[in-house]
Structure 1
Amino acid sequence: MEGYDLIGDIHGCGATLAALLEKLGYHQRGGVYRHPRRKVIFLGDLIDRGPRIRLAVTIARRMVEAGEAHIVMGNHEYNALAYTHPAPSGSHKRWLREHTPRHNRIIQDTLDQYRHHTNEWEDTLAWFKTIPLFLELDGIRVVHACWDDALISELKQRLPTARMDDQFLVESNDPGSQAYRILDRLTRGPHIRLPKGVAIHSGDGFTRQSFRAHFWAANPQQWGDVVFQPDNLPGDLEARPLTDSERERLSYYGPEQPPLFIGHYWCEGIPALPAANIACLDYSAVKFGRLVAYRWSGETQLNADHFVWIQVPKEERALPKPWEIDFD
């Protein structure tokens, strides 16, 4: 085997995923995309927002189950599991992830596209439960949002396969629990709260009271040293000093560590490496950005020339084209 093709957040852009796989040299045989010398690693967030969620899930799942791909859990797969799992008896709420207007909106496209495929949806949720929270393979590391050595060590001790069980899933909705700390950091990454009364009105229509922070600054001093998202911080907040408690809550991934691949962060523009040993592969595909892959072939120093992408066309939201793969 030559190596792995790591693919970022797809978010239901199933037709574009098929086109990217073809561009990478994968061809469908027996309903599964295969390459003679390479395998894929999906970085999670197959679902929500996009127009062909079932197609994206079907392509990825068939590849994983045929041994042609690996996958790690994204926060959107986790959200779907918590949204559909009843809260424990005696709880004040009905579901682990409450059906608030905000949560309903995030998952609505997925529910709509599986509405007439209820058995398939139940089976898909069962498959989501089998997805590990991180991978270490052949000298590389893969996680959806953030690699935190201490929390990953805790997870390995508790769940050696890094796959959630029902107890972990239920516990992960308690903000004071170990499961919550692990799940939140690995699938959502570090966040820093904005000052009271300040909010970011994001390009995806949501209002946020915190911002996404990265985890590869060796000695960050101010908010601008760690902010990692397409939305700018309001006012002069980039110059706001990091407090000791904020700095302590950040993870750190040093340049001596193995190559790491992440998604999650809604990058924009031409794919680039945020650090010499870190590649982010989420380039806002579902906002007509790029669906991005990194072709890794054993190198210990990552190379931006190894990015491969397809610009997501407006036609992704149109009626299917004749070339689109149809598994039904």
Structure 2
Amino acid sequence: MTGPFDIIGDVHGCAEELRALLVQLGWQSQPLPTNNALWGNESWQHPEGRIAIFVGDLVDRGPRILTSLCIVRNMIASGVAHCVLGNHDEKLSRWLRGRKVQINHGLERSVAELQRLHRSERGLIATFLEELPLQLILDGGALVVAHAGLSEELHGRNSPAVRAFCLYGQTTGKTDKFGLPIRGDWATKYSGKALVVFGHTPVVEPLWKNNTVNIDTGVVFGGKLSALRYPEREIVSVPARKQYTVPARPLAAVEPEDASLQDL
């Protein structure tokens, strides 16, 4: 696929802001012809044939987890969207399969909403999340999308180390004063020709470093939901309706020089 694309940052259950951002980007509501009992029929189309790319973390922390999942799933089913797997999506899929996970860092919001579903419906959501790719190589290799970013030598590769980088970023094994993991700042050393678009670490404004951009602007923390229009390289954002979750570290404390180091 060569685009054009609308690459959308971490949604985290903020379905109303997602709808507002799609409208701002010129998308139009286009219901599916059939109304599925779980997924409903809400979908969107762009009159100019643009494709939406989601950077993952569709779930946790926000007010409308299932609605967010349904919108993205139906857009994918309509052939107008793709989504990479985020670390919150991956953890939720393990809970949906009945595996033992810690119910924290916003997962409690997803559990509270989804535990009322029938076991078979939870299985369908788990399958949807499990089938999401870790990275997307687009526009002949000129564009790479991965949830937490990806250094050049790992583009197109598949291994446990690549999986960990895509989901969590470059690890150091250290934590900061807030008890949050400190990540290696791979983007400051990046010199690849492919534009890498990612999220994972919320920043006040989309953060460009070399040929990379972090578009997670912390909508669930009261920030904004942002999208990168490609190939235009134009940022479009809508404000959060409210602060749904208080971050462990205020977004204002994330400075440009260390914004990609730590994960909320």
Counterpart in the other structure of 2:224? 290
Equivalent position amino acid for 2:101 in 1: H
2:177 equivalent among 200, 215, 226: 200
Output the CA distance in 2 between the equivalents of 1:292 and 1:36: 20
Rg (Cα) greater in structure: 1
Instruction: State the shift of 1:261 in Å.
Output: 0.6
Consecutive unaligned residues of structure 2, counting only runs of 5 or more, are 32-41, 246-264
Output the CA distance in 1 between the equivalents of 2:165 and 2:182: 14
Output the CA distance in 1 between the equivalents of 2:136 and 2:166: 11
Counterpart in the other structure of 1:213? 184
| Shift in CA distance, 217/105, structure 1 to aligned 2, threshold 3 Å | closer
Q: Percent identity?
A: 28
Output the CA distance in 2 between the equivalents of 1:152 and 1:49: 30
> Superposition RMSD on alpha carbons, in Å?
2.2
Consecutive unaligned residues of structure 1, counting only runs of 5 or more, are 87-94, 156-177, 202-206, 219-252, 318-328
| Shift in CA distance, 84/57, structure 1 to aligned 2, threshold 3 Å | closer
Output the CA distance in 2 between the equivalents of 1:105 and 1:272: 23
Counterpart in the other structure of 1:190? 170
Instruction: State the shift of 1:190 in Å.
Output: 1.0
Per-residue CA deviation, residues 220-252 of structure 1 (Å, 9 max, x unaligned), is xxxxxxxxxxxxxxxxxxxxxxxxxxxxxxxxx
Instruction: State the shift of 1:186 in Å.
Output: 1.1
Contact 1:114 1:120 in 2 (8 A): no
**Counterpart secondary structure, 1:217:** helix
Contact 1:15 1:55 in 2 (8 A): no
**Counterpart secondary structure, 1:121:** helix
Output the CA distance in 1 between the equivalents of 2:96 and 2:104: 11
2:83 equivalent among 48, 63, 71: 71
Counterpart in the other structure of 2:193? 257
Residue correspondences, number: 230
Contact 2:93 2:130 in 1 (8 A): yes
Output the CA distance in 2 between the equivalents of 1:314 and 1:85: 32
Per-residue CA deviation, residues 71-114 of structure 1 (Å, 9 max, x unaligned), is 1111111112233446xxxxxxxx3xx433xx445311001111
Output the CA distance in 1 between the equivalents of 2:68 and 2:15: 4
Contact 2:6 2:228 in 1 (8 A): yes
1:111 aligns with 2:122: no
**Counterpart secondary structure, 1:193:** strand
Larger CA deviation: 143-152 vs 182-191: 143-152
Counterpart in the other structure of 2:25? 24
Instruction: State the shift of 1:2 in Å.
Output: 6.0
**Counterpart secondary structure, 2:106:** helix
1:118-157 to structure 2, matched below 5 A, reads 118=118, 119-138=120-139, 139-155=142-158
| Shift in CA distance, 32/153, structure 1 to aligned 2, threshold 3 Å | closer
Normalising by structure 1, we get a TM-score of 0.65
Per-residue CA deviation, residues 32-76 of structure 1 (Å, 9 max, x unaligned), is 111022110000000000001111111111001100111111111
1:36 aligns with 2:47: yes
**Counterpart secondary structure, 2:110:** helix
**Counterpart secondary structure, 2:26:** coil
Instruction: State the shift of 1:263 in Å.
Output: 0.7
Counterpart in the other structure of 1:49? 61
Contact 1:15 1:316 in 2 (8 A): no
